[in-house]
Structure 1
C-alpha cells in the first residue's frame, strides 16, 4: 500500500500548524506594539512655529511620557507651568539645575557654564556647511538655573516666547522639573521623522538622553503584520499541497 496520501496529510497538518502559529505570534506582536506605544507615548499637536524647523506649527508629534529625573540638555519637552499660561508648551531644554546659561559669545553661540554649544538644529534650513545667519539669541542674557529646574528655549529664536521672556521672574525664566510631562521623540504627521538628540550637549555633565523605544514598537507592529499576512497566505497553500498529495497517490492498493 502506498503512503503518499498519508504523507501529504502530514505535510498539510504541519503547514496548517505553522500557519496558525505565525498568525498567533503576529497578532501578539501587532497588538503588543500598539499597546506598548499607547502606554509610553502621548500624541500632541504643536500650535506654534516656535520650534521650527525641528517641529512646525500644526505638526502631530509623539511624546514619550517621562518624569523630571529623565530630562537632559537638548531634549525637546512638553511642559505646563502656571507662569507660562498653564497650557502645554513645547521647548528645548538648554540648561539644567546649576547651569549658567548665557548668550552670546564672540561667534554668536550659546554658552553653558562658559562652554560654547553648537546648535545645528538652528541651521537645519541653511545650505550644508553654511554659517548661522543670526546669533543664538537676538539679545544678550545670562541666567543661573536653580536646582531642580530647567531653562528652555525655542529653536526659532527670533519669535519664540521662552525662558528669555521670564528672566525677571523668580528662577530667571526656568521651569520646575515637575512641570515636564513628556519628551518629543518623533513627528508623526504630516511628515514622519525621529527627533534626534543633539550631540553638542553630550560632553556636558549628565550627557544626553537615550533614544525612545518608538523604533522597537514600530518594528514589532511591522513584523506582526508580516507574520499575520504570511501565515494567513500559507494556510491555503498548505491545504492545496495536501490535496495534491492525496490525488497523486495510487488509485488502488495491490
Structure 2
C-alpha cells in the first residue's frame, strides 16, 4: 500500500511538472505571437467598398508594415497621398515604374506592357474598366485600381495629372495580408495573373505562423492548466481505492 501511495504521489508530481512546463511554453508562444504580430502588422478599418469583394467597407484588416520599394503588382496596399485624400486609402497595385497600363485588351482584360492580365478578384464579370485608358507609370510610382471598378475612384480618375494618376512608392504604409474581422477571417493570397510579369508577385507575410503561435500557445495554456488537477485527482482516486481494497482484505 505504501508503494502504491508513493507511485501515485510520483504521478501527481510529474503531472504538476508537465502542467507547469506546458503553461510556461504556452505563455511564451501566446505572448510572443501577439508581440510579433504587433511589430509586423498594423490593423486598419477599410473605409469604402472600392476593393469589394476582396475586402469590404468596415472590414478590419491586417497590413504588414513594409517599405514602398517592396511592393509588387497585385498587392493591396494602404497608402496616403495628399493629392488624393487626407485619409488612408486601400487600392490594388496594377502597375509599377516603367510599366504601360492599358484597358482594355482581348476579352476586356487589363494589359500591362501589352500582356493581358487575368483578374478573378474583380467584383463583376464585365471588362476590367468601363473607361478605356493608357498610362505610362513613372519610375518610383505605382498605378492603383480598386477591385470594384465601376465605383472606385483610383488612378483612372487622375490620368490628366502629373504622373498620370500614379502615386509615389513612399506613400505606401502597409500591404494587406489578411482580413481579421469579420470572423473567421481570411488570408489574402497574391493574384497569379501578375506572376509571369518581371518581378513576379510578393509573398504573403508571416501571418499564418503568427496565428499558429497564438493558437498553439492558447491551447497549451488551457491544456496545461487542466492537466495537473486532472492527474492529481486521478492519483488521489486511485490511492483511495487502494486503501479501501487493503481494508476490505483485512
Q: TM-score, normalised by structure 1?
A: 0.90
1:102 is paired with a residue of what secondary structure? strand
2:35 is paired with a residue of what secondary structure? helix
CA distance in structure 2 between the partners assigned to 1:243 and 1:136 by the alignment: 71
Q: Residue in 2 aligned with 1:216?
A: 209
Residue 237 of structure 1: how far off its partner (Å): 1.6
Residue 67 of structure 1: how far off its partner (Å): 0.7
Asked if 1:169 is matched to 2:161, the reply is yes
4+ runs deviating over 3 angstroms: 244-247
CA distance in structure 2 between the partners assigned to 1:221 and 1:232 by the alignment: 16
Alpha-carbon displacement from aligned partner over 1:88-109 (angstroms, at most 9, x marks no partner): 1000000011111111113211
* Conserved 8 A contact 2:106-2:116: no
Q: Which has the higher contact order (CA 8 A, sep 6+)?
A: 1
Residue 164 of structure 1: how far off its partner (Å): 0.8
Asked if 1:73 is matched to 2:73, the reply is yes
Work out the number of aligned pairs and report it.
243
Asked if 1:139 is matched to 2:131, the reply is yes
Q: Residue in 1 aligned with 2:152?
A: 160
Residue 205 of structure 1: how far off its partner (Å): 0.8
* Conserved 8 A contact 1:7-1:245: no
1:206 is paired with a residue of what secondary structure? coil
Q: Which runs of 5+ in 1 are unaligned?
A: 126-131
1:94 is paired with a residue of what secondary structure? strand
Asked if 1:194 is matched to 2:187, the reply is yes
> Aligned-residue CA RMSD in angstroms?
1.6
CA distance in structure 1 between the partners assigned to 2:48 and 2:5 by the alignment: 69
CA distance in structure 2 between the partners assigned to 1:100 and 1:91 by the alignment: 18
Alpha-carbon displacement from aligned partner over 1:10-40 (angstroms, at most 9, x marks no partner): 1111111001100111111111111111111
